[in-house]
Amino acid sequence: MLLKAAAQLLPVDVSMEILPIADIPLYNADFDLPAAKQRPEPVEHFRKMLTDADGILIASPEYNYSIPGGLKNAIDWASRGEDSPLLRKPVAVIGATPNLWGTIRMQMAFHNVFLFLDMKPVYKPEVLIAQAEKKFDKDGNLIDETAKRLIRQKLEALKEMIHLQTQVGDIVDTKII
Ligand SMILES: Cc1cc2nc3c(=O)[nH]c(=O)nc-3n(C[C@H](O)[C@H](O)[C@H](O)COP(=O)(O)O)c2cc1C
């Protein structure tokens, strides 16, 4: 429901596709490269879709103060290899929960993943949808104006990060200090 809401709040010239993860098997190195010639088909598809995307928007609940296992498993599959589609990719996390803390602990748990993969996370504004049952109507539409504004701002920030990354790639002389 949250991803569908985000898809209605995109900045201009941004398109979004929702990528389901339900078919992705448990990570097993025996079925990963180079041991296996080909990864399981749902994993190949998942990685290809991520490769084709300029940025990633992750929407998730919080499980036991952390990232739900199914989502972490999908991220693990995508993270392997020098051709990982996650490496240095702009990313943003949003979350919804019936509880009070709005998935902040799940979102914090992503920091380590982003660090390891050298991803380019957009942290602000935080989109923490607490008491979600009050923020969506019975048809699953987001009806909370504050949440909508924050999602819009987050998507703008993600777009900006994507453009920044592209421009950095174009610079010939790079100075660091
Ligand atoms: C295994 C499990 C652990 C959960 N842990 C948390 C938690 O740490 N924090 C929280 O706010 N909600 C927690 N919840 C409640 C979820 O936010 C709530 O069930 C939510 O609707 C799950 O979304 P889903 O149905 O898309 O998985 C947990 C739910 C499950 C099933």
Question: Could you identify the atom of ligand 1 that is nearest to the CA of residue 132?
Answer: 21
Q: How confident is the model at residue 165 (pLDDT cuts 50, 70, 90)?
A: confident
Rg (CA), the chain: 17
Q: Which residues of 50-88 are buried (b: 16+ CB within 10 A; e: fewer)?
A: beebebbbbbbbbbeeebeeebbbbbebbbbeeebbbee
Please state the rounded mean pLDDT for residues 111-125. Answer: 97
% of residues, the chain, pLDDT over 70: 95
pLDDT for the residue numbered 171:
56
pTM exceeding 0.75: yes
| pLDDT over 90, % of the chain | 91
Residue 167's pLDDT band (cuts 50, 70, 90): confident
Q: Is 61 in the pocket of ligand 1 (CB under 6 A)?
A: yes
Whether the pLDDT of residue 169 is over 70: the answer is: no
Q: What is the structure's pLDDT at 25? A: 98
CA dist., res. 135 & res. 94, Å (int): 14
Find the 62 Cα to ligand 1 centroid distance in Å.
Answer: 5
Structural tokens at position 103: 């998935």
